[in-house]
Amino acid sequence: MSNQKFELNVSVRKDLGKGASRRLRRLNNAIPAVLYGGNEDPLSLTIPHDDIFHATENEAFFSHIITLNIGKEKQQAVIKDLQRHPAKPFIVHADFLRVRADQEITVNVPVHFTNEEKCKGVRLGGGNLIKNMNEIEISCLPKDLPEYLEVDVTELDIGDSIHLSEVNFPAGVQSVELSHGEEHDLPVVAVQAPRSEAEVDEADTAVEVPDAEVPTDSDAKADGDEGDDS
């Protein structure tokens, strides 16, 4: 875990409901949020929009313990859900989960692929590096939370792949997916063979636009008859 620290100044929200949330965003440039978990009741919060927006520009924000300053009280939490406006660069709601030092947390951690330019299957074989996962769901104690997981693709050749079981998880960190059994040992990254010219040509001609139908003499006559009847 890195030494980066994230803190957000928040306030307790008393005015609840959809209408109140809309007013909060429109008039105060702030967003509603909820803090839950830790054997305590959920707490409705207000967060200045620009503060959380700028924090989310840093990838590490999503895999770090965040300090929420609620007045004079400090709460440790992780971000669990973030809702964004479908068309505008605007966050509309956030969910935070309280963390305790003695309780494991479940977090999605980003994957960093290293040595892509040295990948054997790409550099020598002309293959394509296929990234099946950009993040991995892990569980661990808060003190063991990694900022990211590193996957070295140097030795990957054509047809090779790296699965979850081959990822180097730090001590105290485990994959949630793998905990469900061997059948959940999913591929994280693979090198796909380059397509041959024949395959490219076949793909280009796979979808053909049908020729426009040319009306026959009988069709034209029928159309003319319909016109006469009208």
What pLDDT does residue 133 have?
97
Domains and CATH numbers, the chain: 6-100 (2.40.240.10), 106-202 (2.170.120.20)
157 token code pair: 């050749």
Of the listed ranges 9-18, 90-99, 101-110, the least confidently predicted one is: 9-18
What pLDDT does residue 103 have?
92
10 Å CB burial of residue 91 (0-12, 13-18, 19+) is: buried
Q: How far is it, in rounded angstroms, from Cα 147 to Cα 134? A: 13
pLDDT > 50? residue 226: no
H or E stretch including 225?
Answer: helix 217-229
pLDDT tens sequence across 61-86: 999 999 999 988 999 999 999 999 89
